[in-house]
């Protein structure tokens, strides 16, 4: 590393900081190792001058996502590893009921505000209207979503009138 | 018409091979692994030992012991494990998120569902420089969509170098 003169008070030493422009284009990886996307830009708080988050281009959902620093586990020149699985990426996953029957695919995710806390999922099958499944009815979220045994949603087909 | 029963006990809750064969097998992550194609039975006491899974036309089959089966339902068979063989082809990242390589094979502790070590093919642009790294289970931090290690790539290589020297 190039040796530089330092003018600072209580801040971290130059050697213990990283250059933000080097982060651009690096991968953001979820807790489980899923490559979410590449960093588009790094966002700084203009009042405290500290890093607030990064904007990531998620190709799988075709959108850019701003991820706050509280969800970072580690940050290096190689990548950012998160301490979470991004619930936004549940879109497109298959939903299976307790008996193993496929009941549809996730078309949208309901979150608590802008956090990563899952409130529910909006599911649609080929012939049904979109319907919401609350978080309490979900048994596990992994490669696919498996529902708890008690879940028994009334399926509404597109030819049925909504109440 | 109810069938006559001479087993000495009620068999009303028993399931038959028809309830198992042809059903999708789903692992603990909700991933579809394949289709149950055989039920394995102990020829001495006729107890079931497990199931054989067909993973598709080009993939080798898989046998799962009954201890790893969570439940058999009307549409699928749920496992209580992740199948480690499915790690093949997954990317291995070091502690900093640097790519170490791709899992080429998996060693288990005997026939148990515990990973002993992962064989990882390091990724380089030159095919002659491609080498295999053996990653022991204790330096794996997390396994999900891919694998994340507890150490940096340099620390892993150093450890492997030390091990080679010890064994020489």
Residues A79 and A137 both lie in one domain: no
Q: Binning pLDDT at 50, 70 and 90, where does residue B70 land?
A: very high
Q: Provide the pairing of β-strand B99-108 with A27-29.
A: unpaired
CB A141 within 8 A of CB B29: no
Contact A33 B76 (CB under 8 A): no
Q: Is residue A161 part of a domain?
A: no
Mean pLDDT calculated for residue range A47-65: 90
Residues A102 and A45 both lie in one domain: no
CB A55 within 8 A of CB A44: no
Q: Which residues make up the CATH 2.30.30.240 domain(s) of chain B?
A: 17-82, 85-167
Residues A51 and A80 both lie in one domain: yes
Q: Binning pLDDT at 50, 70 and 90, where does residue B86 land?
A: confident
Structure tokens at A146: 């498996």
Provide the 3-class DSSP secondary structure of residue A6: coil
Chain A residues within an 8 Å CB radius of B95? 74
Q: Work out the number of other CB atoms within 10 angstroms of the CB of residue B54.
A: 17
pLDDT, tens digit, 9 for 90 and up, residues A113-159: 999 999 999 999 888 889 999 999 999 998 899 999 877 665 566 66
Residues A81 and A18 both lie in one domain: yes
Domain boundaries, position A118: 88-147
CATH number for position A108: 2.30.30.240
Q: Binning pLDDT at 50, 70 and 90, where does residue A161 land?
A: low
Q: Is residue A6 part of a domain?
A: no
Instruction: Tell me which of A29-43, A61-75, A94-108, B9-23 is least confident.
Output: B9-23
Provide the ipTM. 0.76
Q: Is residue A35 part of a domain?
A: yes
Residues A80 and A18 both lie in one domain: yes
Chain A residues within an 8 Å CB radius of B151? none
Q: In what order do the strands lie in the sheet with A102-111?
A: A131-134, A118-124, A102-111, A94-96, A145-147, A138-141
Contact B97 A145 (CB under 8 A): no
Residues A137 and A119 both lie in one domain: yes
Contact B75 A80 (CB under 8 A): no
Say what the alpha-carbon torsion angle B129, B135, B139, B141 is, to the nearest 10 degrees. Answer: 90
Residues A92 and A78 both lie in one domain: no
Q: Is residue A152 part of a domain?
A: no
* pLDDT value at A16 more than 80: yes
Chain A residues within an 8 Å CB radius of B96? 74, 76-79, 81
Partner residues linked to A108 by β-bridges:
A122
For residues B142 and B125, give the distance between their C-alpha atoms in angstroms, rounded to a whole number.
Answer: 27
Q: Binning pLDDT at 50, 70 and 90, where does residue B62 land?
A: confident
Contact B146 A146 (CB under 8 A): no
Q: What topology is assigned to B85-167 in CATH?
A: SH3 type barrels. (2.30.30)
Q: Is residue A162 part of a domain?
A: no
Residue B48 has a pLDDT of 87
Residues A23 and A63 both lie in one domain: yes
Residues A70 and A129 both lie in one domain: no
Structure tokens at A31: 């807790």
For residues A14 and A158, give the distance between their C-alpha atoms in angstroms, rounded to a whole number.
Answer: 61
Which one of A69, A85, A101 terminates a domain?
A: A85
Q: Is residue A18 part of a domain?
A: yes
Residues A70 and A98 both lie in one domain: no
Q: Binning pLDDT at 50, 70 and 90, where does residue A89 land?
A: very high
Residues A143 and A94 both lie in one domain: yes
Residues A41 and A94 both lie in one domain: no
Q: Top-level CATH class of B17-82?
A: mainly beta
**Would you tell me which residues 46-105 of chain A have a C-beta closer than 8 angstroms to some C-beta of chain B?**
74, 76-81, 85, 94, 96-101
Residue A59 has a pLDDT of 86
Q: Is residue A154 part of a domain?
A: no
Does B150 touch chain A if contact means CB atoms closer than 8 Å?
no
Q: Is residue A9 part of a domain?
A: no
Structure tokens at A157: 């087909």
């Amino acid at each position: 590393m190039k040796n530089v003169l330092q003018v600072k008070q209580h801040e971290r030493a130059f050697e213990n900081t990283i250059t933000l422009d080097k982060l651009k284009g690096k991968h953001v990886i979820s807790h489980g190792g899923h490559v979410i996307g590449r960093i588009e830009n790094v966002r700084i708080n203009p009042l405290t001058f500290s890093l607030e988050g990064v904007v990531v281009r998620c190709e799988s959902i075709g959108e850019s996502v701003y991820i706050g620093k509280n969800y970072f586990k580690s940050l290096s020149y190689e990548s950012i590893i998160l301490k979470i699985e991004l619930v936004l990426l549940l879109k497109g996953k298959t939903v299976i009921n307790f008996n193993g029957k496929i009941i549809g695919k996730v078309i949208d995710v309901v979150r608590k505000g802008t956090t990563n806390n899952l409130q529910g999922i909006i599911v649609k099958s080929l012939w049904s209207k979109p319907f919401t499944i609350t978080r309490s009815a979900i048994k596990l979220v992994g490669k696919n979503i498996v529902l708890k045994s008690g879940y028994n949603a009334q399926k509404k087909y597109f030819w049925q009138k909504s109440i | 018409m109810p069938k006559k029963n001479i087993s000495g006990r009620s068999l009303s809750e028993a399931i038959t091979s028809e309830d198992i064969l042809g059903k999708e097998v789903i692992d603990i992550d909700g991933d579809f692994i394949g289709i149950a194609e055989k039920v394995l039975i102990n020829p001495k006491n006729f107890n079931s030992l497990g199931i054989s899974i067909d993973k598709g036309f080009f993939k080798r089959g898989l046998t799962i012991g009954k201890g790893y089966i969570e439940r058999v339902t009307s549409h699928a068979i749920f496992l209580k494990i992740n199948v480690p063989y499915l790690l093949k082809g997954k990317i291995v990242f070091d502690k900093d998120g640097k790519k170490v390589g791709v899992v080429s094979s998996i060693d288990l502790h005997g026939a148990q569902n515990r990973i002993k070590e992962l064989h990882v093919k390091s990724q380089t642009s030159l095919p002659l420089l491609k080498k295999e790294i053996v990653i022991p289970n204790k330096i794996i931090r997390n396994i999900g969509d891919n694998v994340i290690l507890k150490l940096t790539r340099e620390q892993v290589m150093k450890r492997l170098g030390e091990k080679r020297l010890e064994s020489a």
